[in-house]
Structure 1
Amino acid sequence: MSIAILGAGAFGTALAITLAQNGPVQLWARNADQATQMQRTRQNTARLPGATLPENVSVTADIARALRADVLLLAMPMQQMGGFLNTHATALAGKTLVSCSKGIDLASGQGPTALIEAICPTARAMVLTGPSFAADIARGLPTALTLACRTDAEALQAQLSTPTLRLYRTTDTTGAELGGALKNVIAIAAGVVIGAGLGDSARAALMTRGFAEMNRIATHLGARPETLAGLSGFGDLVLTCTSAQSRNFRFGHALGAGESFDAKTTVEGVATAKAVSILAKTHAIDMPVAAMIAALTESRITVSDAIQALMARPLKEE
């Protein structure tokens, strides 16, 4: 099956580089000038400097051409996916659509598979998620991800795996996509902890209690606990809470340190914190860390207020 990656950011570019080991790949860039430059220089200097595009990666800004591929990997910010799907719904009918986004759509409160199924009901919806940095994938460093689909995806699992990218599959799309979304919120909180100078012990506590929150709401919404304990949940949580390569962690660090942050950088955890706080209230799920991050990112409380509120919560059993 032919493959096109829709979105030429860092992750989309990295996927194109690694999947080119298996055969030709199309990489669609929204900006025509960027596509022309990448096709000519074989570099994505703006998003993934230092990585070279193999010759069998074709970069295009022609969306009609890209949409002719059998398998489409949607490597775009979660908050842009709904608009993209609506715009191209006719051309996407019957396609295999693999979301590479981590988040919850603010407009609908849906994760990527539910969003795809609602807008493109004849498409086959999947999620590719897990602990991964674009730079590591592009450099050919060993990486393992989760491919989630409600039906069997063994053939695509084989096609999207490479000598350096190992995919595990699951039918628990709810757990896979919520793990990927919710860990971004906890990563922001971990960054706040370190940026505020609270130390590694506080970060470990925050990650543990944050993981408990992830499990509470995900299992309530139908996810399997073992999915959250796997690559798409715990694995991704560990990565993004402990590395400055994580945009969510860096954003939280800037918040905690009282520093500015590049407004052009996509930080999915900000929208996810807002969306999950709404879900938590709707389902009466206690999620204090997510609530605090939502309040922080909306400037409703200060960092010191958030820390004091979390530490002053009633004592309880673990």
Structure 2
Amino acid sequence: MNTSDFYYELPEYLIAQEPIYPRDMSRLMVLHRENGNIEHKIFKDIIDYLNPGDCLVLNNTRVIPARLFGTKEGTKSSIEFLLLTRKSKDRWEVMVRPGKKAKPGSRIIFGDGQLTAQVVDIVEGGNRIVEFIYEGVFENILDRLGNMPLPPYIKKELKDKERYQTVYSKYEGSAAAPTAGLHFTESLLNEIEKKGIKLAYITLHVGLGTFRPVKVDNIEEHRMHSEYFEITQESADLINSTKNNGNRVICVGTTSTRTIESVADDSGMICAKKGWTDIFIYPGYKFKCSDGLITNFHLPESTLMMLVSALAGKGYIMKAYEEAIREEYRFFSFGDAMFII
């Protein structure tokens, strides 16, 4: 299967530049896999499609202010860091622009010396391993100096940083938000629980590789990035009891899907676990645990397009995207939502 099979033309004006307020008033496209029907709703209507006994799986990761702007020591050269993965207490893998100015041994100064980074190594793909030097608590310094790592297609400044966090975000570590969860409000989640739907929280720290287009022609040659995840015993028990009772496990976002599919056995049962996953889900994949998916509209030729196509069928997804464009849905991180049932 070719990467180009997942391409579509998107008018630029449909790329959402800011989040909807309130969160649950974004639009919702409902895809019925059994009969191929497509419905157009508002996100808060999603409760009408959830049944008592169902379980929503939500990713409670929290985005860190991972974008830093500094200067190379001894020069006036501007350098931008994007923190990707914490390797140890003070060592991080980072994306650097421009990379040619960040050779091993180079020192980068941030915030008038409040934070210094020494480049230790260059790794595959051109990212750098850096060691940070500072006084105090790193997280506090990062909160002062860092910026939210909004995707490059969002040009408008985000005034309220919390709008790029889910209302249930808890554990810091992501370089990007699990955007399907941005549509939920606390009141909507309360209504969902009152209806008898379980909420199982997992953690997967989202890396930027999630959103990048695949650069190989044959998708089977694509190498997936790794992301850190944790599943508690409590959440595993909630998900397993849902499956045992014959009810649906519905993932909120592709990150939740990838997490539970990484640990599910052939019977659909999962276990409490923490570790790294590089699972790549594309058409032909047989889902073990996930029965449905709440997700946003994704970049063409991305691994996320391939994942939703694996769940719903590529033809059905491409038809739905054509209709979303025709109906002028808002796309990508701050855009509207799709519910595949």
Q: Which structure dedicates a bigger proportion of its chain to strand?
A: 2
Q: Which structure dedicates a bigger proportion of its chain to helix?
A: 1
Larger RCO, structures 1/2 (Cα 8 Å, 6+ apart): 2
- TM-score normalised by the shorter chain: which range applies? under 0.3
Asked which structure has the greater CA Rg, the reply is 2
State TM-score, norm by structure 2.
0.25
State TM-score, norm by structure 1.
0.26
